[in-house]
Chain A
Amino acid sequence: MKLYNRGIILAGIALFLIVATFPFWYGRGKAVPPPDLKLDTAAIAALKEKLCVEPAEFMRTDHMRLLANWREGLREGQRTYTAADGRVFEIGLTGTCLKCHDNKEQFCDRCHDYTGVKPNCWSCHIVPKEVR
């Protein structure tokens, strides 16, 4: 079998393979640094004890489940949340979470962008800082 234009074809295939596999070998052994979440808001600085609704480890892994429980509880008229340590919080994303974490871009968005999730909270819930 004769391959016409052998040089061009083989070079093209080689070029295609290089380009197609570029992301794999270029990023090999490297890791994108985890996002740097900012906790330096005025409200957090004013806290005597730097503690979220629940401990940070729990919030890191389970904040989405906590929020989902909050919004389901609201259907039953449950407007407050009692944390494991007994502290009571009013249920609300804008009113409670964002009161401390008022830096949504440096807190919520950085991690959500890093992990590639797109929560649709903000299509309804208001970020006070974004309101003119």
Chain B
Amino acid sequence: MAPTRRDFLKMAGLTAAVLVLPPRLAGGADKVVTPSAAPLPLAGPGRRWAMAVEPRKCRPDCRACIDACHGVHNVPDFGNPKDDVHWIGRAPMGKVFPAETHAGLPETLRGLPVPVLCNHCINPPCVRVCPTKATFQRADGIVVMDYHRCIGCRFCMAACPYGARSMNWRDPRPFVAKLNVDFPTRTQGVVEKCNFCEERLAKGLPPACVVACPEKALTFGDLEDPRSAVRELLGRHFSLRRRPELGTEPQIYYIL
């Protein structure tokens, strides 16, 4: 018996409904698709290097971290602020956290020297603007430079909101106080910055500044590891990051 007009319309409607409905509701596909949390951009296999800084522990005129870093990495000292090249430095708290500074803040806190270095952002603007991919982000989050590729355009310096980058306006080698033979210098016309001691990490050593600090004010570790010293410290204290409103996701955490 040929189907009635009514039966034909029923079948046609059901078929259309099955085709239109998402597979899960229709029961067609047994693969359950859960909306997984978006992975950290470029986060590597279980590594996300970060640093917690406790400026209150710093001695007033201590330069141990700066001297250690600049000594290991052959950072030149040109002796004038115009040519200044630095990987790590110190700045008063009022300058590092201008949004957190107000008239009621005592001068002792406002002038507190705070170690400042490259923030190794999760979303680094310097990497985005680099036209030669000289600055790039590794899988473990470290933002590093391939000095072979740097053409000295200084887009990255304009992009970095933290002033973490320096230009070699002159040949830096004569201005390196004592050359460390195990690390190259830079050349005239390239930008340089902190590399989170990636060359030491490759050997299993913590960053030079962390080792040099006499007060253990710098704590380095893997944010992906819940038992790391950084996670433990950040879990116990309230911490600030520099200019988080920019969305760069800095990985240097300040406990003030």
Contacts and interface: CB of A to CB of B under 8 A. Distances in A.
B187 interface: yes
Contact of B138 (A77, A123, A131): A77
B184 interface: yes
Contacts of B148: 71
Interface in B200-215: 202
Given A75-B136, A77-B138, A79-B202, A128 B181 contact: yes
Interface in A79-130: 79, 94-95, 120, 123-126, 128
A124 B184 contact: yes
Given A77-B138, A126-B179, A71 B146 contact: yes
- Kindly state the interface size class of chain B when it binds its partner: 10 to 19
A54 B33 CA distance: 51
Contacts of A126: 179, 181, 183-185
A55 B78 CA distance: 44
Contacts of B202: 79
B181 A131 contact: yes
B49 interface: no
Interface residues of A, number: 14
Contact of B181 (A94, A120, A124): A94
Contacts of B173: 123
A124 B185 contact: yes
B182 interface: yes
Interface string B180-198: 0111111110000000000
A75 B188 CA distance: 22
A104 B86 CA distance: 31
Given A79-B202, A94-B181, A124 B146 contact: no
A66 B249 CA distance: 37
A91 to B, nearest CB: 11
Nearest to A93: B184
A123 B188 CA distance: 8
B147 interface: yes
Contacts of A128: 181
A95 B181 CA distance: 9
Nearest to A79: B202
Nearest to B173: A123
A128 B181 CA distance: 6
Contacts of B136: 75
Contacts of A125: 184
Contacts of B179: 126, 131
Nearest to A129: B181
Nearest to B171: A123
A75 B146 contact: yes
Contacts of B188: 123
12 contacts: A71-B148, A74-B146, A75-B146, A77-B138, A79-B202, A94-B182, A95-B182, A120-B187, A123-B188, A124-B185, A126-B184, A128-B181
Given A74-B146, A123-B187, 5 more contacts: A75-B136, A77-B139, A120-B187, A126-B184, A131-B181
Q: What are the 8 closest A-B residue pairs judged by CB atoms, nearest first?
A: A123-B187, A124-B184, A128-B181, A125-B184, A131-B179, A124-B187, A126-B181, A124-B185
